[in-house]
């Protein structure tokens, strides 16, 4: 199987396929988790608001997966977090209380160590969240969900898939599906974006897990003709969600918040030394490669948050902004929810259910869904692919039994499969003080490393112990060691400064300057590992700094089109600058090689 797309669903699909004993490859055009999967709300949750939409199957499935992630799959990355639902009117208590009780009830049996909800009066709320306006509530309900470092979850999925035999590579862009004389798909052409080489990858089955890029890859027929895949291809609408990052001291609370808005809900989520506030839910009409926040988006989030905060936030409090695109599937026969004015809120009502389709023999497409349910999406995609193979092929994939009761391809086994970092997590956490003493690192740093790498933290600690340079903290990133940049390259497939600071270390929203101060140091550490000379390292560092500036430049844009244009121009400038610094340019060579 060839899996296309290195986000959370693609990475989960590669893991699912390879652990069933299938020869599996995963290709990603940029970096793993580069798109939507690093720009989410960082929540693993059932979706309290979906209960009100009567989408009980989705909530039940998501709560089941939440429990698995907290308990078994990634307990080092997925942790419980309390939320307050402020109540402003007396009737809200029975109404919201009934919903939250149902929410907890649907999670019963696999709560993942999450406490049940509790009703609170005014005095209790004022103790827990003194930063709330007293007039904004008459009480609250506290309930628990979970949060996750989304990009690190993807990295661990990819690494775990590789350990189990999958071949995983970034910077490989699928430019076309390879069609057969019989009309099916027998592989894909990929472009190596670092060398310009084109490679024909042959596969019995191709699974597309590209999210908002679904439908963008054409079929190349044996006679050289290319045409888009239309019939049977799910229609995906891109819905933009933005989040603001503000310092933790701007609002005093021991719990996060969930606030009702006229369109959806707004979360105020604790994240180390910051709060993440979001999200919006609006259609995105521009190119999906460069989603961006606008001035209107920021005003919307600030206005809704300030409705309940005793000390209002303003733009000067915003130290980071990130925007991502949700892949929402439009049901057959319905128009895409892309209204102009108030109808833009329509995307908030589109189902988050996922779909699996087989538009052509040999090609399976999985899209829609949400981060929390990535594992079931992956299992469903592989199930569909092997069933189709059993119906159409006479080769090794014939006669699949995805129930696991007969011969052929076994059923999915990822429901209780720990990721790397989760295996031995509890003993590693229990030994944290000994790790600190033995390594000479501060206990707080060791705990931080354990939360990022789980039982794999000793790998990073050994690098730091072996070299005084690597034991130093990265500039402007307290708690983050230089060793992490090296580990990102040697163990996690990082190929650029942005890969390290934006998706491995998450400085992009954990540091007030998005990690720009550390760019030079990170490039210096990466250089000998990737064969960069001093000029190349300098250009890579500058490329990251320019990228962070471009992200901030969009904050004054009035429309999506203006914000998108700023990012596109910044990307062009960055490529020109880096090319002058010695980076290989992406060639358009048609020569290539073939691989099975």
- Tens of pLDDT, residue by residue over 513-548, are 899 999 999 999 999 999 999 999 999 999 999 988
5's CB contacts (< 8 A; 6+ apart) are 28, 208, 209, 210, 211, 213
How do residues 399-437 score in pLDDT, each as one tens digit? 445 544 345 899 999 999 999 999 999 999 999 999 999
Rg (the chain; Cα; Å): 24
pLDDT bracket for residue 452 (50, 70, 90) = very high
Q: Residue 509 — pLDDT band, cuts 50, 70, 90?
A: confident
Could you read off the pLDDT of 277-307 as tens digits, one per residue? Answer: 998 989 999 999 989 999 999 999 999 999 9
Q: How far apart are CA 552 and CA 570, in angstroms?
A: 11
**Residue 306: Cβ-neighbour burial (10 angstroms; 0-12, 13-18, 19+):** middle
Give CA–CA dist 355/524, Å, rounded.
44
What is the token pair recorded at 286?
């521009």
Overall average pLDDT of the 37-46 stretch: 94
Q: Look up the pTM and report it.
A: 0.91
What does the DSSP 8-state code read for residue 472?
A: S
Q: Can you tell me the mean pLDDT for 177-187?
A: 95
- Please give the structure tokens belonging to residue 406: 């007969």
3-class SS of residue 551: helix
* pLDDT for the residue numbered 511: 85
How confident is the prediction for the chain on average, in pLDDT?
88
Return the number of other C-beta atoms located less than 10 Å from residue 75's C-beta. Answer: 20
Among 494, 479, 422, which Cα is nearest to 447's? 479
> What is the residue whose two structure tokens read 């809120």?
345
Task: Compute the distance between CA of residue 593 and CA of residue 570 in angstroms, rounded to an integer.
Answer: 33
583 pLDDT higher than 90: no
Q: Report yes or no: 400 and 386 within 8 Å, Cβ to Cβ.
A: yes
The runs of H, that is alpha helices, within 261-294 are none
Taking residue 195's Cβ as centre, other Cβ atoms within 10 Å add up to 13
């Amino acid at each position: 199987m060839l899996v296309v797309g290195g986000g959370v669903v693609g990475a989960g699909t590669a893991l699912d396929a390879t652990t069933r004993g299938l020869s599996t490859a995963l290709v990603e055009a940029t970096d793993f988790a580069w798109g939507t999967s690093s720009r989410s709300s960082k929540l693993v949750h059932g979706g309290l608001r979906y209960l009100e939409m009567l989408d009980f199957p989705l909530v039940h499935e998501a709560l089941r997966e939440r429990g698995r992630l907290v308990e078994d799959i990634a307990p080092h990355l997925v942790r419980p977090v309390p939320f307050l639902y402020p109540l402003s009117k007396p009737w809200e208590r029975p109404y919201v209380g009934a919903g939250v009780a149902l929410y907890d009830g649907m999670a019963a049996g696999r709560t993942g160590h999450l406490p049940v909800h509790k009703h609170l009066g005014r005095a209790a709320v004022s103790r827990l969240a003194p930063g709330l306006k007293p007039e904004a509530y008459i009480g609250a309900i506290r309930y628990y969900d979970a949060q996750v470092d989304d990009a690190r979850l993807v990295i661990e999925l990819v690494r775990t898939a590789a350990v189990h035999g999958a071949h995983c590579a970034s910077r490989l862009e699928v430019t076309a599906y390879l069609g057969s004389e019989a009309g099916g798909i027998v592989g894909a052409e990929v472009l190596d974006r670092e060398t310009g080489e084109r490679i024909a990858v042959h596969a019995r089955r191709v699974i597309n897990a590209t999210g908002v890029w679904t439908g963008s890859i054409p079929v190349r027929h044996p006679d050289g003709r290319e045409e888009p895949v239309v019939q049977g291809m799910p229609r995906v609408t891109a819905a933009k969600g933005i989040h603001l990052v503000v310092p933790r001291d701007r609002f005093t609370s021991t719990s996060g918040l969930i606030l009702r808005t006229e369109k959806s809900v707004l979360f105020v989520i604790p994240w180390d030394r910051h709060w993440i506030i979001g999200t919006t839910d609006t259609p995105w009409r521009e190119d999906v490669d460069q989603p961006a926040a606008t001035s209107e988006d920021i005003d919307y989030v600030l206005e809704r948050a300030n409705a309940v905060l005793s000390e209002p936030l303003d733009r000067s409090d915003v130290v980071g902004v990130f925007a991502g695109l949700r892949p929402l599937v439009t049901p057959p026969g319905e128009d895409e929810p892309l209204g102009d004015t108030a109808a833009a809120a329509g995307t908030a009502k589109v189902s988050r259910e996922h779909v699996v389709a087989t538009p052509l023999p040999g090609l399976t497409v999985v899209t829609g869904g949400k981060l929390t349910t990535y594992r079931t999406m992956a299992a469903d995609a592989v199930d569909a692919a092997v069933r189709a193979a059993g119906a159409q092929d006479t080769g090794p994939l014939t006669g699949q039994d995805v129930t696991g009761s007969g011969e052929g391809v076994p059923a999915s086994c990822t429901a209780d499969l720990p990721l790397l970092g989760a295996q031995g997590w509890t003993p590693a956490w229990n030994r944290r003080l000994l790790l600190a003493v033995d390594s000479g690192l501060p206990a707080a740093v060791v705990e931080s490393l354990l939360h990022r790498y789980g039982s794999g933290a000793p790998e990073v600690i050994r690098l730091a112990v072996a070299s005084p340079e690597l034991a130093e903290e990265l500039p402007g990133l307290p708690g983050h060691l230089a060793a992490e940049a090296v580990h990102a390259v040697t163990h996690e497939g990082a190929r650029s400064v942005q890969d390290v600071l934006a998706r491995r270390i998450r400085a992009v929203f954990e540091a007030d300057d998005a990690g720009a101060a550390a760019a030079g140091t990170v490039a210096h550490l990466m250089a000998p590992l990737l064969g960069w000379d001093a000029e190349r390292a300098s250009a890579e560092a500058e490329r990251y700094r320019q990228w962070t500036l471009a992200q901030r430049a969009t904050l004054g844009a009035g429309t999506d089109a203006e914000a998108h244009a700023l990012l596109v121009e910044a990307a062009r400038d960055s490529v020109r600058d880096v090319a002058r610094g010695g980076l290989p340019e992406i060639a358009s060579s048609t020569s290539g090689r073939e691989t099975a």
